[in-house]
Structure 1
Amino acid sequence: MQTLPITKSQALEKWTKELQNEHLRLSDPEAFLSIADWHLSEMEKLNLFDPLELYEMREQAHAAYSAGLEEQFAYEQYCQASAYNVVPDGENTRIATISHGVFSFTDASGMRSMLPAYHGRVMVTEGRVHLVMSQPNYCVPISGLRFVTGDGIPCQLVETARMSNGKWLTGVQDPDAYRALVDLAQEAFEQKDWVRYRMLRDRARYSPFTCCPTCHDSFVQREDCDGCGGLGFIPDNLGEPVCAGDCRNIEGCTTLPTP
């Protein structure tokens, strides 16, 4: 049976739906832009749009991508390409890890459990995120980077690494290196050098530090800040051990094993 040719209105409807994929735009801006560019190349082959229309559509995609980079910190979203530590509220130790959507419990020592590696999976459907557990059997929604287990334990997902171009992006442990990453990332953002910005910002993001809640890393206030001692940031426990999964499998990870 011959497929009917797509109309211009149908192509525009599909394009609009792609731009409205807020979960992908905020969780993985690079994937959002890559998919948008691919759809534009496919739409160009249809010969339904003039060059100016295609240019404006490409500008729309890049504007959404740039905004996504800036908004990520305010609207944390689960990303399938990332590794996470699952940390109960008020505790400092992970109880499980999530890597590429696979949920695995850890044992009391913090090392990988001797139980089967697969205990559940994170499913993303039309922007809605759910954790589907196999043992015990339950399904709960993930809102941002938070969820409540089947037995009522509130947990947070702490992102510790992300796969990009076939390599794991990880953080740094040295405070001076972290300060340099933050400053260089800000410089790249102001210059709209998005590729460099994302690389630097993600390495800072996966480091065991967080912005000082007292001075908020303000250049004017941090020098005399008692909260961070002038650094602009404070240590942030990512759920020991710092790197998710088996650190030996993550390129660039220098975290020492937990005693």
Structure 2
Amino acid sequence: MNKKPPSKPEALARWNGSLRNEHLRLSNPEVYLQVMRMATADLQALNLFDPLELHDLCEQAQAAYSAALEEQFAHDLYCRASSYNVVPVDGHRRIGCVRQGNYYEENRTEAFSCDGMVIQESERLRVVLRTSGELGVIHGLQLIGADGRVYHLVETARMIEGRILQGVDDPDAYRALIELAQAAFEEKEWVRYRLMRDRVRYSPFTCCPTCCDSFAQREDCETCHGQGFVADSLRIT
């Protein structure tokens, strides 16, 4: 028996449901835009919308995507396409890592391909281990353990369009990335800025706590020796 095609209000309601997926929009804008393009193509295939209506829907999706590129800078959300080090807030040695939704314990000896998984239930993200149940619940970029302990999720890489976007471990290349990101920001080229900014974030360096990468102060800074940044062990993979 053939399934009855949706009515125009039903199809539009489904499309709006995808448009309002705020977690996907802010955590992975590129995938969000792909989802919206597919949803709009599905509407077009139904022959229920005229070209002007479809154009308006495309404009809405593009505007939501563009806004996400700016809003994302103020929102830190877990992204399934990313890899993270799991580090206690009161320590500097990771207990494990999350890679594209799979959890791996540090110094693991199990024969399983992974030790656990990130599972999404409605608006809740849980890390569930194969053998001992729930490790904790993810809020933003923190993992709240079942025992009450709090862990940072420190992003180290992200899968974008089938390719892994990583940082760099060469100090000169890292300085060049910082300058390129700053130039893109000043020119309001948000897509390029996000790519450069993310590569900066994934690199195993952090802003010098003494000179704060101030051009006037970093030359004589004894902490970073003029580089403006220092090694960040939390991002070493």
Q: How does the TM-score come out when normalised to structure 2? A: 0.85
Summarize deviations over 1:124-163 as a string: whole Å, max 9, x none: 2334211112232225321011122233321111111112
CA RMSD for the aligned pairs? 2.6
Residue 214 (structure 1) shift: 7.7
Residue 38 (structure 1) shift: 0.9
CA contact (8 A) 2:89 2:150 kept: yes
Any unmatched runs of 5+ in structure 2? Answer: none
Letter in 2 for 1:135: T
Q: 1:14 to 1:157 in 2, by over 3 A?
A: same
Q: How many residues align?
A: 233
Q: Secondary structure at the match of 2:15?
A: helix
Q: 1:103 to 1:141 in 2, by over 3 A?
A: same
Q: How does the TM-score come out when normalised to structure 1? A: 0.78
What does 1:17-166 align with in structure 2 at a 5 Å threshold? 17-107=17-107, 113-117=108-112, 118-138=114-134, 140-166=136-162
What does 1:130-209 align with in structure 2 at a 5 Å threshold? 130-138=126-134, 140-191=136-187, 193-209=189-205
Any unmatched runs of 5+ in structure 1? Answer: 108-112, 244-259
Q: CA–CA distance in 2 between the matches of 1:50 and 1:228?
A: 60
Summarize deviations over 1:61-108 as a string: whole Å, max 9, x none: 12211222222232111111111111111211111111121111112x
Summarize deviations over 1:229-250 as a string: whole Å, max 9, x none: 77665543325xx12xxxxxxx
Q: CA–CA distance in 2 between the matches of 1:126 and 1:174?
A: 41
Residue 194 (structure 1) shift: 4.9
Summarize deviations over 1:190-213 as a string: whole Å, max 9, x none: 555455334322211201234567
RCO higher in 1 or 2 (8 Å CA, sep ≥ 6)?
1
Q: CA–CA distance in 2 between the matches of 1:53 and 1:216?
A: 50
Q: CA–CA distance in 2 between the matches of 1:214 and 1:36?
A: 45
CA contact (8 A) 1:223 1:229 kept: no
Taking only the aligned residue pairs, the percentage that are identical comes to 48
Which is helix-richer, 1 or 2? 2
Q: 1:116 to 1:149 in 2, by over 3 A?
A: farther
Q: 1:224 to 1:65 in 2, by over 3 A?
A: same
